[in-house]
Amino acid sequence: MSEVLGEDPEVILAERRYDAIARIMESAVRKEEGKWTFTDMLDHVFLHRALGIPIFLVLLWAVFQFTFAFSEPFMVMVEVFFGWLGGLAAAGIANPQLASFVADGLCGGVGSVLVFVPPIFMLFLALAILEDSGYLSRAAFVMDRVMYKLGLHGRSFIPMISGFGCNIPAIMATRSIESEKDRMITILVNPLISCGARLPVYVLIGGALFGAAAGTAVFSMYVLGIALAILMALIFRKTLFKGKPAPFVLELPHYMVPKAKTAILHMWERGKLFLIRAGTIIFVVVVLLWFLSVYPWAATNGGEIIENSYVAGLGKAIQPIFAPFGWDWMTTVAIIFGFLAKEVVVATYAMLLGTGEEAVGDTLVSMGLFTPLTGYAFMAFVLIYVPCVATIGAIWRETNSWKWPVFTMVYLTVLAFVVSGLIIGIGRLLGYT
């Protein structure tokens, strides 16, 4: 078929199949001439060659504005609750080490992560509404033209969108991609899509440093992740996996008014993964971090002199690597533990600074640990560098080799240093500090 007709067989078969469907529809469906349906009118705008991508970006920006605006009151409520609970534990438990564990480790550490349940659930709710309305399929169609030219398969967009929730199921979703080369490229670039676990870090840093522009700062991280994923896909297509991506055939559903029950169920199904992680991986990591931050007990005076702790020694030993970025040893520790679970970055700051989430942002600013420039570079570093342990495991399972997980960790770490370095370098040239 390729030799005779000069086209890809998959495209030809799809065209013939839809020709047959059209003939059947003509005999079975009566349609008034000259009238546009509601779907036709919306598609004329959303699928427009010039306006399609800008509309997608505007809607994505609106999602994060919605996430910030509606989640903030709930975040304050959770913060107040865990602050009250930690105060009760500190005052009511006689044993100082046990009191420190409950107040600082559990209420301070795990509580500082659970504070971000509201924005994560709000993000998933907004994405569920877009998905149930039928728009996300249009977004995949609009992005296909750009992605195909840059070497990424159009079907890769669906796992990439899924990566906004969690990179693990997104990587597993690449099984729907038939071409092995296209599938491998999608797996390798998927960790660049900003998952829900990174959102608490963006909210913390963005809220502390950018004020009213925090939503835009967070949105820019997601755009940066998509841009880097497309760039790396182009590089991989030109080097490791040469050839053209397979054609993308997509059937667009009719637009629907999202049902509240369905959207809430979708939000819960995705959000509960975060709660499960908070009750398992994050809990274990926070306990380990608490131990390293308060011992040796005598030297730290029960965690009050954090500079004498085991974790401070670890951070100070590695900190020179990050010194050019203007990051202190606490940030180094946050990066190290963030490899186990990205949410732990926030818990690390809460524990090392001895404060709750709301006060963490103010403390970061008052202590001068971050400026808007170095804080933005740190957000980019958290976006790019080595994904969590569970994601590395998913890459290993899907590729059935340790070669690709190791390759992913190396290239992402190098890319994180390069991008963060460029942000700080260009920022300083423009007069920022």
Residue 74 has what pLDDT?
A: 87
Q: Can you read off the two tokens belonging to residue 107? A: 């209420």
User: CA torsion 380→381→382→387, rounded to 10°?
Assistant: 120
What pLDDT is stored for residue 370 in this prediction? 92
User: How many residues does the structure list for the chain?
Assistant: 433
Q: Which of 20-24, 223-227, 255-259, 424-428 holds the top average pLDDT?
A: 424-428
- What is the DSSP-derived secondary structure letter of residue 176? G
In a domain, 319, yes or no: yes
Q: State yes or no: pLDDT of 357 exceeds 60.
A: no
At residue 50, does pLDDT exceed 80?
Answer: yes
* H or E segment to which residue 345 belongs: helix 344-353
Structure tokens at 146: 């750009």
For the ranges 77-86, 118-127, 398-407, the maximum mean pLDDT occurs at 398-407
User: Which DSSP string corresponds to 259-310?
Assistant: PHHHHHHHHHHHHHHHHHHHHTHHHHHHHHHHHHHH-SHHHHTTTTSGGGSH
pLDDT at 378 over 90: yes
Contact between residue 164 and residue 123 where contact means Cβ atoms under 8 Å apart? yes
* Domain-located, residue 47: no
Place of tokens 């390759």: 407
> In total, how many domains does the chain have?
1
Report which of 107, 163, 142, 414 is spatially closest to residue 283, judged by C-alpha positions: 107
Domain limits at 264?
Answer: 52-245+260-429
The pLDDT tens digits for 82-93 are 878 888 888 888
Q: How far is CA 303 from the centre of its chain?
A: 32
**Pairwise pLDDT comparison (376 vs 11), residue with the higher score:** 376
CA pair distance 288, 397, nearest whole angstrom: 27
| Residue 144 covered by a domain | yes
- pLDDT value at position 151? 64
Which of 118-122, 171-175, 227-231, 272-276 shows the highest mean pLDDT? 227-231
Q: Which two tokens stand for residue 333?
A: 């520790």
What is the band of 152 on the pLDDT scale with cuts at 50, 70, 90? low
How many other β-carbons are positioned within 10 Å of the β-carbon of residue 290? 23
Q: State the pLDDT confidence band at 32, using cuts at 50, 70 and 90.
A: low
Please state the φ and ψ torsions of residue 144, each to the nearest 5 degrees.
-60, -40
In this prediction, residues 161-165 reach a mean pLDDT of 73
Q: Is the pLDDT of residue 5 over 70?
A: yes
Q: Are 290 and 99 in contact (CB under 8 A)?
A: no
| pLDDT at residue 65 tops 60 | yes
Alpha-carbon distances of 197 from 34, 113, 126, 166, 307, rounded to whole Å: 49, 10, 17, 7, 28
Lowest-pLDDT choice from 38-42, 229-233, 402-406? 38-42
- Residue type at 162? S
Cβ partners under 8 Å of residue 260, min gap 6: none
Dihedral of CA atoms 142, 144, 145, 147 in degrees, nearest 10, equals: 130
Contacts of residue 74, Cβ cutoff 8 Å, sequence gap at least 6: 117, 118
pLDDT of residue 274 exceeding 90, the answer is no
The more confidently predicted of residues 250 and 121 is: 121
Q: What is the mean pLDDT of the chain?
A: 84
Residue 85 lies in a domain: yes
Q: Please give the full DSSP string across 346-407, using - where no structure is assigned.
A: HHHHHHHHTS-HHHHHHHHHHTTS--HHHHHHHHHHHHHS---HHHHHHHHHHHTSSHHHHH
Question: What average pLDDT does this structure show over 322-349?
Answer: 89
pLDDT digits (tens, 9 = 90+) for 212-242: 888 889 989 999 998 898 889 889 988 888 8
How far is 108 from 363, CA to CA, in rounded Å?
15
137-150 confidence digits (pLDDT tens): 788 788 777 776 66
Flag whether pLDDT at 410 surpasses 90: yes
Cα gap 331→334, rounded to integer Å: 5
More confident residue, 416 or 183: 416
Give yes or no for residue 298 having a pLDDT over 90: no
Which pLDDT value is given to residue 411? Answer: 96
